[in-house]
Each structure stands twice: as structure tokens, then as C-alpha cells.
Chains A and B, each alone.
Chain A
Amino acid sequence: MAQNLHEFSLRVKTLFRKRRMDREMADELAFHQAMLKDKLMRQGVAREDADAAARRSFGNASRWHERLRELWQFRGLENLGRDVSFSLRVLRKSPGFTGVALLTLALGVGANTTVFSMINGLLLRPLAVPESGRLAVLGTDSGDPRIVYSFSAPFFRGLERRREVFSQVFAFAHHDMQVRGSSGTQSISGQLVSGDFFNSLETPPLLGRTLTPLDDSKGGNPSGFGVVISEEFWQRWFNRSSNVIGQKIQIDNIIFSVVGVMPKRFIGADPLERPDIFAPLALEPLLDGAHNATDAGIHAGWLTVMGRMKPGVTLEQANAQVAAGTSAVIHSLAVDPSDLARLSKRQMHFTAENGSAGFTYVRMMFSKPLGAVFAMCGGILLLACMNLASLLMARGAARQPELATRLALGATRRRLIQQLLVESLLIALMGTAAGLAVAPAVSKSLTLMLLGGEGEVHVDTSLDIRVFGFAALASVVASLLVGLVPALQATSSSLNEQIKSGQHTTQAQERRRVLPKVMMAGEVALALMLVVGAGLLASSLVRLYLSGTGFDAKGLENISLRLDRRPLQGEALIEFYQRLEDGLRRQPGVTGVSYARIVPFTHDVWDEDLFVGAGKVQDVYFNSVSPDYFKTMRIPLFDGRDFAWSDTTATGLKIILNQAAVKLLFPDRNPLGQFVSKQEGKKTVQYQVVGVVGDAKYEDLRSPAPAGAYLPMTQDDGSQGPSYNAVLRTNGPAGPLADAARSLVMSMDAEIPAPVMTPMSLTIDESLSAERTMAMLAVFFAACALVVTAVGLYGTLAYATARRTSEIGIRMALGARRSQVVRMVFLQNAAVAVTGTAVGLIAALLASRALASFLYGTSTRDPWVFAGSIFALALIASAASLLPALRSARIDPMAAIRCE
């Protein structure tokens, strides 16, 4: 050990004193020569003879010198340098191979890095707050398969007081703030946060102070309502003015004063949000008015609750503690005894889990599809590696004469393998670099696709140490996979034989080689699996779209109107909507206008229990709509009549049912004119059925249309606020219409926030974004897989055929017809493709089950998808094999034989 150290330090020293070492060695050898000469002269040899004799006896001085120098060098290091430059030269000499290799690997590594950086941004990246590892997310486990992460205000307040394991427990909820500015009201993304929110996240403000429990006390801070704003908002709204502290801003008609500004890096505890305004949670009743979530008590789950664990407390301890404290929290609630009994009966307990990366709902929605996408990515990387490996193997075979020459010139097998590995490592490094270079842009667009282009969601997919680490790992694994086997293979056969005999003697052995064929077959199998997966997902998506909505989404536009802050109700409100409808109807291209409380597929749900007489209670999905709604939506009216503006409360409550609801409530009679009832507290409300309409889907496309009921908006009791969506049918461009709607609303009431117009088709697309993204990615990956496989099949066959040129020449000279040659070459790959397909088919049948939960109306063994995939693969494989086969048929026998 000490000796090695000594040697190492001497060598390092030499590294820096190369010149001097060289001179000293030369001096030493010269001295020796001089001494030899002296001795000879002393023995009486003439001077000039002595010179020659000394030189003769000494031998080749420069050779000894070289040997000495080698002794003092780091052999490995300098060899490595030589290998790198040699490999670069080799790679540059075959740009076609290098290009294909780089592209393949860049694709594989790039795709993986892209998806990984999304997973990183969504699931792994810790919040940029001190000691994020001590944060925990709280949830409720009610024995359902899924833990619920939304808490009601009373539950949170109960938890907030418990400090056994947490130094603080805090809650937050997204809240769009209607901020009054110089140019009308603007909707600003914000959060309502509890008193300990900022204390827990431990990020000091840029200016002023953060919100405290005093701000979050019931009724608000007695010295005025405070809000904290983001640096970005400070810039946009206050132009970075230093006296922003104490400035007033009006949110939802309530005056707040700015008490602090948070730095840009602070984004709260939801990694996907960028709130501009943080307001105290306790002021929610003031902001949301009559229909606020706080007063809904335990019936509204709307808060995300997190805690900062005390130092030294582990997650397990915290989890056990909150679970044990569940019933204490429930019993501390001031709720109805009946509610309490119901809550106690449910086997629920609180949970705590790692919150270092914050909490976002999107994570739950997308962790599964992202996992599937990641698996597909892994498949692509594996495919790329196998492809490269088989290409390298084929190339190694073609390079055997070169390798043999190098062996003969004294290179060891180790050195050859080292150099070949350096070659593949270089390819891997360059491929990874290319992949990394494009990854951020791709993951950005992927995120947009995945989460919809609303601009409300921010995933930080930028490269960080984790992504780099991942890419480096992928690259190293890839290069080892890619390089080692071919390098061992290429140097394994008796190379001296090669040099002696050229192509012919190794022919038989060459053809017997199975490893490249196994690789290619594996590649075909893997590609088939990816194509089948993509086919299943895509056909499921198509079936979803074709499954029908029950209405005609094409040309439908929804304009969301937010009148919550306006003092309009009853007839005045109806009058406002009628005036707006008249205005909208006059816009060019508009063929129908109506209103609806709930737009389908937006995940807004309003359901009620309905019954007829003493019949069974049925769960029915409700909506409140204006006259003409069915006509605008193109939902067929089968029986009875539509609502009319004259259906006021005075004329008796009316209801329109869809066919599914009729089947449930009136299985054996005509519902027209009959009454359905709803229990409202102690009293029963009755509605008279005036019409029957077609079924339409409500919450999402995947579930069949539920039993539905429609109430006229003219009989709205106002319990859900005054906001409706205008539903328009248009055959003109959307842009001008959106502008017109905005200015129309402005001219009628400047206090109303600018309405947002969304095409129904976009709403549907967004409700399917997870499915769409998965299908699109899967198709993309499958296409990549096909291309990669084709390149691999083509490349290996082309190499193999090139090496058989003279053999083919002889065959043709002996009378083989061109068609026979084509067939011979073509069939070589066909065997590989058929084996691969068979294996891939079995694997795909087994693996496709993993996709079952993502599929709609599609069997995991859909014969059409499987047949289509096999066909696609067969087509690609044939095309890739035909080209080298045709080329081999063009070989001129004479030229081929002569060239040996």
C-alpha cells in the first residue's frame, strides 16, 4: 500500500516534470555510453572504433529511453487519451453509423429524461423551504381504497390545536381573488392560508411581515385585514414600489392592506401553483359571501392540511399520533349530535405522510399514467440500447480484420475491449448530451399537453441534480449494455485466423452466431409490445370520443359568468341574463344562446335524491338551465315541452327528466304531468314533470349518462349563487365572439370579471387529458420503436450482407438467380422477425393487463389491435429487410469475386 502510494506520488510528480525527466534519462544513458567508451579506449581501442563499439554494445538508445519513459507514466491514463482520440477518428470515419447511433440513443435517453424530469417536478422535487423533510401531508383514511386529502374547516381547526408531534399544523386552499384595479376587475390566482402557514414554511418575507395566527382569527385581525403578495404581483401591480406595505387593495369588495411581499422562490406548499395573493383563511366567509365553504362545516372538504413535525419526530411517529388523535378531534367538533354519531360510526382515522415535496391534487391524478409512460420510456431506452448493441456487433464482425491486425501488432485483448468500450461510451455521452439538450423543451410541451394549456398550473421541469443523475445513470447503463457484449464478441474469435484467411473461413462460424439474432428478435418483441400498448390506448381513446356525449359538442361555446359579487337576484337577475342573451344572439355566427348552471365534464356535480310517491329514492344528477338549452345543446326533446321564461316560481315548480331518470322513477307509466319529490330538511318539495329529454353524459366521458333532471333557471332559489354559464352555438370564428362577449358584459356591468369563453370540445379534451396524453405518448413511443427497430433490422442485415458479398458473387457465378439471392437474404431477417413477433405477442398478452385500468370499452386482448400491430411490424420489418436484399441482388458476380 505504502509502496503504491510512493509510486503514485512519484508518477504524479513526473506528470508535471516531463521535460526534465526526459533530459535526465537522456543524460543518464549518455553517461553510461561515455563510460563504456572510456573503458574500451583504456583497453587500447582506437577512438572512432570505441565510439562504434560502445554504441553497438549499448544497442538502440532511444528504445531504452522509451521503455524508461513508459515506466514512469500513468499507462492507463495516457492510453485512455489515445483511445478517445482514436475512437473519435473511427466514429468520424463512419458518419452514417455514428448518426444513427447518436439519434437512437438521444431518443432513448431524451425521452426518459423528459418523463423523468416531469416525474421529478411533480413528485420528487422538494419544496424550496428550510428543512422541507420535516413537512407532512395529512389525510383521512375511511377504509376506502383512496385516502382523502381534503379537510373541512372544523376538522382542520381541530387538528390545528393538536401539537403533540407537530410544531405547527397549517392549511391552505386555492382561491381566485377578484381584485379591483384601474382597468376593471381582474381575477388573480391566490391562496387562503391559515395562521401558521408562513411560520411552518419558514421563509422570510422580502418586505414587511407574513400572516400570523392573529390575522387568521375569527372575524380577522382587529387592526385590519392583511394580505401577503408575491414578488411577481408586487412588480406587476405596484411596480416594485418600496412603500407597498400598507397599500390597500380591494378583493371581492373587501378592503385589504398589503402587509408583506414574499420572494420569488416562495410558491407556497402546492408545487403546481404560483399564488399572487395570500389571504387569511378565516376571512373566507367574507370573501365567498353567502355560499362559503367555512359555514358549510364538515360537509365541505376544501382544505389541504400539512404539518411541520417537531425536530426528531419521525413520519411513523407522526402518522401514529394523528391516527390515535382522530376521535379526540372528532369529539372536539361543535357539530350536530346526529353528525357526530355518523362520524364516529365511520371507521376513519387521520394519516400523515411525507410532505417534503408539498401537496398537489394533480399528483394523485397523474402518478399512475406517468408511471405507465415511464415504463414505456424504459422500453424505448432498452430498445435503443439493444439496437445499438446489435449494430455494434454487426460492425464488430465487419471490423474483425482491423481488430486482428491490431492484435497482431501487439495490442492485448483488454486494450481492444477498452478501446471498443470507449467508443460506445463516447456515443452514449454524446447521445445523452443531445437528449439532455432537448429534454427541457419537450417536457415543457409535454406538461402543457398533460395538464391543459390553462396557464394555471406550473410544473418546474427544469434540469436539476436529480435529472442529471438520472440521465448519467441511464447513459452509463446504456453504454455498458451497448458496448460490453459487442466488444467481447468482436474480440473473441481467433483473430489470427482471420488475418490469414480473409472472409471465407469464418463464414460458417459467422452464420452460426446467435446472439445478434436473439438481440434483434428481442427488439422486435419489445417493439411489438410497445405498438400493442399504444394501439390499445389509442383505440380506447377513440372509443371514448365515439362513445358520444348525448349532445352535439361541435360549435358549442361556454362563457363562464361570475356574478357572485353582484347584488342581483330573483327577477332582476333573470332580467340581466335575458338582456345578455339578446346581446349575444345578435353576434354574427351565433345560432343559439342559453344558460346552464353546470357545464358537463368540468367535474362540477350537483346531485339530489328524488322519489315518486312512496317509491324508492333515486340519486339524480341536476342542472339548472334556461329555455332553449336543449335546442342549443341539441339534446333531443322526446316528450312534453321545453322550459319557458314564463315558468316562474308562481306557476309551480317544473322539472324535465332524461330518459334514464324516467326509467328509474317511472318505470311503468308516462311521467308527463306527474310529480317527483325531494326531501329538503323536514319539508317535501314537489316538481311537476313537463318534458322528457335524451340522456347526456355529465361528470366524465367514461361513465355512462346518469339519470338526470333539469330545473328551470327562472325557478332558481338562489341557493347556489347567481353565476351561470352562457351556452352558445355558433358557426363562426370563436375569437371575435369572445371579444364581443367580454365587451358586452363590461358594458352591462363593469364590476363583473371579464368572462372566459371555452369551446365545449376543449372542455371534453381537457377532461380526457390524462387519457389523451397517455395515448399520444404511447403512439409517439410506438412510432419511435418502429423506426428504431427498422433501423436495427436494416443495419444488421446490411452489414451481414456486405460481408457476404463474395459468397453471393460465387453463388451467382454458379448460377443462382437474382430472385433466389433476394429471397435468401430476405429470409434471414424474416426468421428473426417471426420469432420476435411470436415472443412479443405472448409478452404483450401478459403485459397488456397492466393497462386494463386505463382502457375504456377495449379488451386488453383486442384482436384488431393485436392484428394491426403485427401487421405494422411485419410491414416495417419487410421494408427494412427488402432494401439490403435488393441491393445484394445487384452485386456483380465478377467484381465481387475479383475484389478478394
Chain B
Amino acid sequence: MGEIVDTGELIQGTLEMLILKALVRGPLHGYSVAEWIQQTSQQMLKVEEGALYPALHRMELRGLLKSKWGISENNRKAKFYDLTAEGRRRLDAESQRWARLSSAVAFVMQAS
């Protein structure tokens, strides 16, 4: 394992963006969200449970996510999160903002 970046250290709001992104292909429970982020980032980003669940609940309260209890792939009762329309809109906005921000940062860093 290389360098592990705790999502808690990421710029505020980034975790939410990652969660939104994780859910774009369909409902997931909290564990899979964390797993997906960790795997997709090639183990670079580790999502702390202590940050994940408050973020999920906060987003649910704000209407970005909705939740439903269902059965997990290994037959356990689990809480599944899904994007709301508001959440999708937010994801689009956040992706654009992120793209602009990262390219701007890249420009700055590449300057000689």
C-alpha cells in the first residue's frame, strides 16, 4: 500500500462529492460507498467511518440523498443510500467545479 490519504484531510466538501459520485450508478450501503472510494482511488483514499456516516446523514437531512432499508449481497439487513434529483444536480455542479479547480491547480504547479 502506498501513501494513504485520509478523506478527513481532503478539502471540505470533497468527501460529499465522492459520496455523490459513488452513488451515481445506483444505491449502495455505507460500507460499499467506503469500499468503492477506496478501491477506485487505488487505496489512496481511505474513508474513515467516523467521517462517512455523519456525512451520509447530513446529506440525507439536506435532501441530497434518500435512504431505504434493504437486503445486502450477503443477506444482511442494510441501509441503502441513493441520489435524489437534487443530489444529481449537486454532483454535476461539483464535478465541474472540481475539474476547473484541479486544472487550475495543475497549471500553477506546472509553471516554471
**Interchain CB contact under 8 A, B31 and A3:** no
B29 CB within 8 Å of chain A: yes
Distance A6 CA – B30 CA, assembled complex (angstroms): 22
B8 to chain A, nearest CB (A): 12
Chain B residues within 8 Å of A6, by CB: 61-63
B49 CB within 8 Å of chain A: yes
Chain A residues within 8 Å of B63, by CB: 2-3, 6-7
Which of B13-21, B73-81, B91-99, B101-109 lies at the binding interface?
A: B73-81
Chain B residues within 8 Å of A68, by CB: 53-54, 57
Chain A residues within 8 Å of B50, by CB: 59, 63-64, 67
User: Which listed residue (B57, B76, B79) contacts A34, Cβ 8 A?
Assistant: B76
User: Which listed residue (B30, B61, B62, B74) contacts A28, Cβ 8 A?
Assistant: B30
Distance A97 CA – B32 CA, assembled complex (angstroms): 59
Distance A38 CA – B72 CA, assembled complex (angstroms): 13
A756 CB within 8 Å of chain B: no
How many A residues, CB 8 Å from partner? 25
The B-contacting residues of A in range 24-41, CB under 8 angstroms, are 24, 27-29, 31-32, 34-36, 38
Distance A35 CA – B49 CA, assembled complex (angstroms): 12
**Interchain CB contact under 8 A, A35 and B62:** no
**Interchain CB contact under 8 A, A31 and B78:** yes
Chain B residues within 8 Å of A10, by CB: 60-61
Distance A2 CA – B84 CA, assembled complex (angstroms): 14
Chain B residues within 8 Å of A38, by CB: 74
B58 CB within 8 Å of chain A: yes
User: Which listed residue (B48, B53, B72, B77) contacts A29, Cβ 8 A?
Assistant: B53
Chain B residues within 8 Å of A59, by CB: 48-50
Chain A residues within 8 Å of B31, by CB: 31-32, 35-36
A72 CB within 8 Å of chain B: yes
Residue of A nearest to B34 (CB): A32
A71 CB within 8 Å of chain B: yes
Residue of A nearest to B84 (CB): A6
Distance A67 CA – B54 CA, assembled complex (angstroms): 7
A11 CB within 8 Å of chain B: yes
A58 CB within 8 Å of chain B: yes
Known interface pairs A36-B31, A71-B61; A27-B53 also in contact (CB < 8 Å): no
Distance A59 CA – B51 CA, assembled complex (angstroms): 11
The B-contacting residues of A in range 66-122, CB under 8 angstroms, are 67-68, 71-72
Known interface pairs A28-B30, A28-B79, A64-B49; A11-B61 also in contact (CB < 8 Å): yes
A693 to chain B, nearest CB (A): 95
**Interchain CB contact under 8 A, A7 and B62:** yes
**Interchain CB contact under 8 A, B79 and A27:** yes
**Interchain CB contact under 8 A, A32 and B61:** no
A434 to chain B, nearest CB (A): 43
B93 to chain A, nearest CB (A): 14
**Interchain CB contact under 8 A, B61 and A31:** no
A66 to chain B, nearest CB (A): 11
Distance A59 CA – B52 CA, assembled complex (angstroms): 13
Distance A224 CA – B77 CA, assembled complex (angstroms): 94
User: Which listed residue (A7, A24, A34, A35) contacts B61, Cβ 8 A?
Assistant: A7
**Interchain CB contact under 8 A, A64 and B53:** yes
**Interchain CB contact under 8 A, B79 and A31:** yes
Interface hub of A7, A27, A29, A31 (most chain B Cβ within 10 A):
A31
Residue of A nearest to B52 (CB): A32
**Interchain CB contact under 8 A, B54 and A32:** no
Chain A residues within 8 Å of B86, by CB: 3
A710 to chain B, nearest CB (A): 94
Chain B residues within 8 Å of A63, by CB: 50
Distance A11 CA – B62 CA, assembled complex (angstroms): 11
Chain B residues within 8 Å of A11, by CB: 61
Chain A residues within 8 Å of B76, by CB: 31, 34-35
Chain A residues within 8 Å of B53, by CB: 28-29, 32, 64, 67-68
**Interchain CB contact under 8 A, B72 and A31:** yes
Distance A57 CA – B69 CA, assembled complex (angstroms): 25
**Interchain CB contact under 8 A, B78 and A71:** no
Residue of A nearest to B64 (CB): A3
User: Which listed residue (A7, A27, A57, A58) contacts B77, Cβ 8 A?
Assistant: A27
Known interface pairs A3-B62, A7-B62; A71-B49 also in contact (CB < 8 Å): no
Residue of A nearest to B73 (CB): A35
Distance A10 CA – B58 CA, assembled complex (angstroms): 11
Chain A residues within 8 Å of B61, by CB: 6-7, 10-11, 71-72
Distance A668 CA – B53 CA, assembled complex (angstroms): 112
Chain B residues within 8 Å of A72, by CB: 57, 61
Distance A38 CA – B86 CA, assembled complex (angstroms): 34
B62 to chain A, nearest CB (A): 6
Chain A residues within 8 Å of B30, by CB: 28, 31-32
**Interchain CB contact under 8 A, A58 and B62:** no
Chain B residues within 8 Å of A2, by CB: 63
Distance A76 CA – B78 CA, assembled complex (angstroms): 31
A22 to chain B, nearest CB (A): 13
Residue of B nearest to A2 (CB): B63
Distance A72 CA – B60 CA, assembled complex (angstroms): 10
A831 to chain B, nearest CB (A): 54
A35 to chain B, nearest CB (A): 4
**Interchain CB contact under 8 A, B49 and A24:** no
A55 to chain B, nearest CB (A): 11
Known interface pairs A6-B63, A32-B49, A36-B31; A64-B77 also in contact (CB < 8 Å): no
**Interchain CB contact under 8 A, B58 and A31:** no
Residue of A nearest to B63 (CB): A6
Distance A58 CA – B54 CA, assembled complex (angstroms): 14
Residue of B nearest to A5 (CB): B63
Question: What 1/0 flags go to B27-46 for Cβ under 8 Å of A?
Answer: 00111000000000000000
Known interface pairs A6-B62, A31-B29, A59-B50; A71-B57 also in contact (CB < 8 Å): yes
Chain B residues within 8 Å of A35, by CB: 31, 72, 76
B107 to chain A, nearest CB (A): 34
Distance A166 CA – B55 CA, assembled complex (angstroms): 71
Interface hub of A7, A28, A29, A59 (most chain B Cβ within 10 A):
A28
A667 to chain B, nearest CB (A): 99
Residue of A nearest to B55 (CB): A71
B12 to chain A, nearest CB (A): 16
Chain A residues within 8 Å of B60, by CB: 10
**Interchain CB contact under 8 A, B57 and A58:** no
Distance A181 CA – B8 CA, assembled complex (angstroms): 97
Distance A29 CA – B48 CA, assembled complex (angstroms): 13
Chain B residues within 8 Å of A67, by CB: 50, 53-54
Residue of A nearest to B78 (CB): A31
A862 to chain B, nearest CB (A): 71
**Interchain CB contact under 8 A, B79 and A24:** yes
B112 to chain A, nearest CB (A): 43
B60 to chain A, nearest CB (A): 8
**Interchain CB contact under 8 A, A64 and B79:** no
Chain A residues within 8 Å of B49, by CB: 29, 32, 57-59, 64
Residue of B nearest to A32 (CB): B31
Distance A28 CA – B32 CA, assembled complex (angstroms): 12
Chain A residues within 8 Å of B72, by CB: 31, 35
**Interchain CB contact under 8 A, B74 and A64:** no
Distance A670 CA – B50 CA, assembled complex (angstroms): 115
Distance A91 CA – B30 CA, assembled complex (angstroms): 47
Chain A residues within 8 Å of B54, by CB: 64, 67-68, 71
Residue of A nearest to B30 (CB): A32
Binding site for A on B (CB under 8 A): 29-31, 48-50, 53-54, 57-58, 60-63, 69, 72, 74, 76-79, 86
Q: Across the A-B interface, give the 5 residue pairs with the lowest CB-CB distance, nearest first.
A: A35-B31, A6-B63, A28-B79, A31-B78, A32-B31
| 7 contacts across the A-B interface (CB closer than 8 A) | A35-B72, A36-B31, A63-B50, A64-B54, A67-B50, A67-B54, A72-B61
Told that A6-B62, A31-B72 touch, could you supply 16 new A-B pairs with CB distance under 8 A? A3-B86, A6-B61, A6-B63, A29-B53, A31-B29, A32-B49, A35-B72, A36-B31, A38-B74, A58-B49, A59-B48, A64-B49, A67-B53, A67-B54, A68-B53, A68-B57
